[in-house]
């Protein structure tokens, strides 16, 4: 996918291939600006023009139905309508932007339920209250008649999560879903997500900087650098034995004894992320890579290749590093 800048297309996400599986959580990690949100928003066709997805495929197989080719749907297609907020839900980074300031929380929740679940109003209200309760909002019935400005930041964030989950989506795209929450509420939110996964097989794409959450909540991890996936595989393997120098650097930037709250800060790695539109030749990470081999890493782009069961890596040093 690309954005338009100074009259030309700048590629922000390039050749990314992710597979979200029913009931599992895939964490998408990487430094700020690497293209995580752009990838996440593409899934729902929410890239604003003149930005656009300019190639590839996004396929969704709803339970018991044929595959939907998301990019082939027109803006007026009923499937796109059903997709957004119904089959696939998105939790934005900024909770405020997802809530209407002029409608009560209850009206917004019940409207969403009405559109996607088509159940009687009384049942919709009960379902909405139950969702708020599961997410730990105090006095959930009373909250239903409040407006977003009457809620604290943490409550707003959980209200947005309730909006996303209440229609039992088959896929949840969660972009930094728990940033405004303390440790206890974060755990509660992830518990609710896990329950929806176990009960309804919801798949989760979790965009995050929080490596503690990745270690605890993710089944699989994809590591992104400059718009490309450089390593992906099962979370325990990647977290314990990162093979790509970038993954290693990311994990090394989070000291093991750092308090959990602090690990949510953006990681810092020596060197600078290349300017968009001025990507280095060869491997995009080579100018910052301690293992870069002149004449190889600066001239050829390493393909993302399978290195073991379920694990892929884009690095010419893959074999040596995996056996190190
Ligand atoms: N609307 C836009 N127009 C132009 N460029 C954009 C737009 N949105 C994002 N970009 C650029 O696309 C690249 C990817 O941005 P994206 O928001 O996907 O990164 P990210 O990894 O999600 O970052 P963060 O972790 O800070 O949210 C960045 O270089 C960003 O500046």
The answer to whether 264 and 254 have CB atoms below 8 angstroms apart is: no
Question: What confidence score (pLDDT) does residue 163 get?
Answer: 94
3 CA → ligand 1 middle, Å: 9
At residue 97 the predicted structure's pLDDT band, cuts being 50, 70 and 90, is confident
The answer to whether 160 and 91 have CB atoms below 8 angstroms apart is: yes
Q: What values do phi and psi take at 232, rounded to 5?
A: -150, 155
Q: Verify whether ligand 1 is closer than 6 Å to residue 32 (CB atom).
A: yes
Q: Verify whether ligand 1 is closer than 6 Å to residue 35 (CB atom).
A: yes
Question: What confidence score (pLDDT) does residue 259 get?
Answer: 47
Residue with the smallest CA separation from ligand 1 atom 26 is: 32
Q: Which atom of ligand 1 is nearest to the CA of 276?
A: 29
Q: Which architecture does CATH list for 2-222?
A: 3-Layer(aba) Sandwich (3.40)
Ordered DSSP codes for 147-207: -GGGS-HHHHHHHHHHHHHTT--SEEEEESTTTTS-HHHHHHHHHHHHHHHHHH--EEEEE
Q: Region 240-259: what's the mean pLDDT?
A: 81
Q: Verify whether ligand 1 is closer than 6 Å to residue 276 (CB atom).
A: yes
Give strand pairing partners of 62.
none
**pLDDT per position as a tens digit, 129-188:** 999 999 999 999 999 999 999 999 999 999 999 999 999 999 999 999 988 789 899 999
Coil/strand/helix, residue 265 = coil
Question: What confidence score (pLDDT) does residue 221 get?
Answer: 97
Question: What confidence score (pLDDT) does residue 104 get?
Answer: 97
Nearest to 20 by CA among 202, 244, 176, 239: 202
Q: Using the 8-state DSSP alphabet, how is residue 84 labeled? A: B
Q: What values do phi and psi take at 175, rounded to 5?
A: -95, 105
**pLDDT per position as a tens digit, 273-324:** 888 878 999 999 999 999 999 999 999 999 999 998 889 999 998 655 554 4
Question: What confidence score (pLDDT) does residue 262 get?
Answer: 44
Res 246 pLDDT > 90: yes
Gap between the Cα atoms of 236 and 132, Å rounded: 32
Res 86 pLDDT > 60: yes
- Displacement of CA 30 from its chain's centroid (Å): 11
Cut 0.90: pTM above it: yes
Question: What confidence score (pLDDT) does residue 64 get?
Answer: 93
**What are the structural domain ranges in the chain?**
2-222, 235-322
Q: Using the 8-state DSSP alphabet, how is residue 55 labeled? A: S
Gap between the Cα atoms of 229 and 258, Å rounded: 27
83 CA → ligand 1 middle, Å: 23
Q: Verify whether ligand 1 is closer than 6 Å to residue 12 (CB atom).
A: yes
Residue with the smallest CA separation from ligand 1 atom 17 is: 37
Q: Verify whether ligand 1 is closer than 6 Å to residue 228 (CB atom).
A: no
- Residue 85: both structure tokens together: 């907020």
136: left (phi over 0), alpha (psi -120 to 50) or beta: left
Pocket test for ligand 1, best of 33, 53, 97, 264 (most atoms within 8 A of CB): 33
Gap between the Cα atoms of 324 and 319, Å rounded: 9
175 CA → ligand 1 middle, Å: 13
At residue 256 the predicted structure's pLDDT band, cuts being 50, 70 and 90, is low
261 CA → ligand 1 middle, Å: 24
Question: What confidence score (pLDDT) does residue 276 get?
Answer: 80
Residue with tokens 């993710």: 218
**pLDDT per position as a tens digit, 13-72:** 999 999 999 999 999 999 999 999 999 999 999 999 999 999 999 999 999 999 999 999
- Residue 297: both structure tokens together: 């890493």
The answer to whether 305 and 317 have CB atoms below 8 angstroms apart is: no
Q: What values do phi and psi take at 62, rounded to 5?
A: -65, 150
């Amino acid at each position: 996918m690309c954005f338009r800048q100074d009259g030309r297309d700048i590629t922000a996400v390039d050749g990314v291939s992710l597979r979200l599986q029913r009931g599992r959580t895939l964490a998408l990690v990487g430094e700020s600006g690497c293209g995580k949100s752009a990838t996440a928003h593409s899934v729902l066709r929410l890239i604003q023009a003149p930005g656009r997805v300019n190639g590839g495929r996004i396929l969704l197989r709803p339970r018991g139905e044929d595959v939907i080719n998301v990019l082939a749907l027109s803006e007026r297609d009923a499937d796109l309508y059903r997709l957004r907020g119904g089959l696939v839900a998105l939790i934005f980074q900024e909770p405020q932007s997802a809530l209407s300031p002029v409608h009560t929380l209850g009206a917004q929740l019940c409207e969403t339920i009405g559109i996607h679940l088509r159940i009687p109003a009384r049942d919709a209200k009960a379902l909405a209250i139950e969702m708020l309760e599961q997410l730990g909002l105090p006095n959930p019935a009373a909250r239903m008649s409040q407006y977003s400005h009457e809620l604290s930041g943490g409550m707003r964030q959980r209200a947005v999560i309730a909006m996303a989950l209440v229609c039992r989506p088959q896929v949840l795209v969660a972009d930094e879903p728990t940033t405004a929450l303390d440790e206890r509420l974060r755990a509660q939110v992830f518990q609710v997500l896990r329950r929806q996964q176990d009960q309804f097989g919801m798949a989760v794409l979790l965009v995050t900087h929080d490596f503690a959450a990745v270690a605890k909540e993710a089944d699989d991890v994809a590591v992104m650098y400059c718009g490309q996936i450089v390593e992906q595989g099962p979370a325990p393997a990647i977290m314990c034995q990162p093979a790509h120098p970038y993954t290693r650097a990311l994990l090394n930037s989070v000291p093991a004894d750092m308090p959990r709250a602090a690990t949510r800060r953006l990681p810092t790695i020596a060197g600078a992320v290349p300017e968009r539109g001025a990507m280095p030749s060869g491997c995009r990470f080579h100018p910052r890579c301690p293992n870069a081999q002149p004449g190889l890493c600066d001239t050829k782009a390493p393909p993302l290749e399978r290195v073991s069961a379920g694990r892929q890596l884009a690095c010419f040093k893959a074999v040596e590093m995996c056996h190190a």
